[in-house]
Amino acid sequence: MKTTARHWLLGVCLIGGAGTASAADLTGVYCDAQGNDTLIVDDQGDSVRFELSSWQGGGHHCGTGRQTAVRRGDHFEVTDGACTLTLAGDDAFILLEASPSDGCTRQYCGARASLTSLRLPLSSRTPLPMAFEDISLMETLLCQ
């Protein structure tokens, strides 16, 4: 059978593509099993807009506010003051890493809360309920 560009393209679509997943694959709302951690992501291709809200033991909280991270190979990265936030996805999880942890904790967390890394299952992803800029993590119930 003669292989044509159409057959190759169909194969790529059926098998799942070549190379890294497109940024659009990360768009959505991600939640932990208890509903304490919420990550909203709006993928723009070469950058992502995101916001994290993490409620921890005793009602202590970390929140990043709105961030825009740019693509750096297989991940997205933003440096905000003394903290670098890295966002990446794999086949099962979306991962947010904060470095250095002490600088990120001071910048984004209240007393007795900390920010090092957060790993949320891709299976928890739901569509954004409205435009990213209209979502308020404090007013919109996203994770139940």
Task: Tell me the pLDDT tens digit for each residue of 70-92.
Answer: 999 999 999 999 999 999 998 89
pLDDT digits (tens, 9 = 90+) for 104-123: 999 999 999 999 999 999 99
Q: Other C-beta atoms within 10 Å of 35: how many?
A: 13
- Report how far residue 14's alpha carbon sits from residue 133's, in angstroms, rounded to the nearest whole number: 34
Mean of the per-residue pLDDT values of the chain: 85
Q: Does the pTM of the predicted model rise above 0.85?
A: no
Which residues share a beta bridge with 66?
none
The secondary structure element, H or E, covering residue 23 is none
pLDDT by residue, tens only, the chain of 144 residues: 343 333 333 333 333 333 344 434 799 999 999 999 999 999 999 999 999 999 999 999 999 999 999 999 999 999 999 999 999 998 899 999 999 999 999 999 999 999 999 999 999 999 999 999 999 988 878 887
| 37 within 8 A of 31, measured Cβ to Cβ | yes
Q: 112-140 burial, b if ≥16 CB within 10 A, otherwise e?
A: ebbbeebebeeebbeeeeeebeebebeee
